[in-house]
Amino acid sequence: MKRRQFVTGLAAAAGVTACAQERADCAAEGAASQETFEWNLVTSWPPGLPGLGVGVENLAKRIETASAGRLKIKIFSGGELVPALEVLDAVSRGTVQMGHDSAYYHRGKVPAAQYFTTVPFGQTVHEINAWLYYGGGLELWREIYEPFNVIPFPAGNTGVQMAGWFNKEINSVEDLKGLKMRIPGVGGEVMQRAGVTQVTVPASEIFTALQTGSIDAAEWVGPYNDISLGLHKAARYYYYPGWHEMGPMLQCTVNKDAWNSLPGDLQEVVATVCQAINDDMMAEYTWGNAVALEQIKADPNVELRQLPDDVLRLLKQLSEEVLTEMAEADESAAKIKASFDEFQRLVVPYHRISELAYLKAREL
């Protein structure tokens, strides 16, 4: 009987201890769930820019709302805190916790990163999202950013862009030679091989550069953003299609130490909102480009033109050369190119009998 009472007492004591421990754990968990964070985010974009700038503002607002105010993000537009083209550096150093820009701005440091914006004659928005989320692309992206202490997330897409604004007519490949053009990424390298002088300037400087003649041509995004920068007032000829950017993705980068400081639920909030913005921005651009194009077509000072077939053939040939050479020179680029090309090989036949076939049928 005494033994039973002793064992029962031990069990009761253990139960009390367990309950106490459980209350302590719950209290600690509750305290953790109430912890708040205030982050800074730098971008490459002018403040309030439709699509790109507004998308970042929506990103910050939705993260704050979804986290019930536990994660607040202050946005600094391009040049306010760091130079517009040095976003990745600031996030990598931990100067800020987050950034929003384009991966191909950093091709000097990470040549293979260009695949995570766009490469010429590559994948559309639907295709690149499929490759990233289901084809192993996102894992490859995070692998090449690992040395920079940065975690990337897809966070926006503009869809097929325009070839750009020109102050000179492009009627043949000869007309490309000697042009000075603002065009980043692999597209810029391709244009250089076609005889163009490639120039990289941030969005805020494109209008002035075109208007003053320091450049002859510039690609930016498409009608929606181009009108907001006033580019239709600085150049006459508006060429399509955007052979160099057919599904250009924007990136949200997070400093890895800052990421690890977040509890799991807030990490999920950030990841989920980034994916939501990735989809929402494309919807905004589809609407905005359609509306803005009508305005451009009604402008008597603008001529909307298609690039000649011989120009497109040359650019495609040069694009293949550039991407092959990049893969030969960089092991990471070769690995990513193999994955990217294999998925494109798989998806093109399907889109040939679905998207492309339908678009042709709609024009009958």
Q: Are 73 and 99 in contact (CB under 8 A)?
A: no
Assess if residue 32 is contained within a domain: no
* Structure-model confidence comparison of residues 31 and 111, the more confident one: 111
The pLDDT of residue 204: 87
For range 147-165, the mean pLDDT: 97
pLDDT of residue 32: 54
pLDDT band at 111 (very low <50, low <70, confident <90, very high): very high
pLDDT value of position 3? 47
The whole-model pTM stands at 0.88
Give the residue with greater pLDDT, 181 vs 23: 181
Is the confidence at residue 138, as pLDDT, over 70? yes
- pLDDT at position 11: 46
**Average of pLDDT values for 91-114?**
96
Task: State the pLDDT at residue 21.
Answer: 58
pLDDT in tens, 230-288: 999 999 999 999 999 999 999 999 999 999 999 999 999 999 999 999 999 999 999 99
Residue 50 placed within a domain: yes
Which contacts (CB < 8 Å, 24+ apart) does range 225-232 have? 225/49, 225/50, 225/51, 225/52, 225/158, 226/162, 226/165, 226/292, 226/296, 227/292, 227/295, 227/296, 228/49, 228/50, 229/203, 231/165, 231/206, 231/207, 232/165, 232/296, 232/299, 232/301, 232/302
pLDDT (tens digit per residue) in 1-17 = 444 454 444 444 445 44
What is the domain-level CATH number for residue 218? 3.40.190.10
Chosen domain end from 257, 286, 315: 286
Q: Is 12 domain-assigned?
A: no
Q: Are residues 81 and 56 in the same domain?
A: yes
pLDDT at 200: 84
pLDDT at site 6 = 43
DSSP letters for 12-49: HHHHHHHHHHHHHHHHHHHHHHT--EEEEEEESSPTT-
Domain for residue 14, yes or no? no
For residues 68 and 217, membership in a common domain is answered with no
Containing structural domain, residue 100: 37-156+247-286
- Whether residues 96 and 228 share a domain: the answer is no
Q: What is the mean pLDDT of the chain?
A: 92
Q: Can you give the pLDDT at residue 252?
A: 98
Higher pLDDT, 183 or 185: 183
pLDDT at 29 over 90: no
pLDDT of amino acid 27: 46
103 and 129 part of one domain: yes
Amino acid 203: pLDDT: 86
Query: In terms of domains, do 59 and 120 share one?
Result: yes
Is residue 2 assigned to a domain? no
Split into its structural domains, the chain has a count of 2
What's the rounded mean pLDDT across residues 66-85? 96
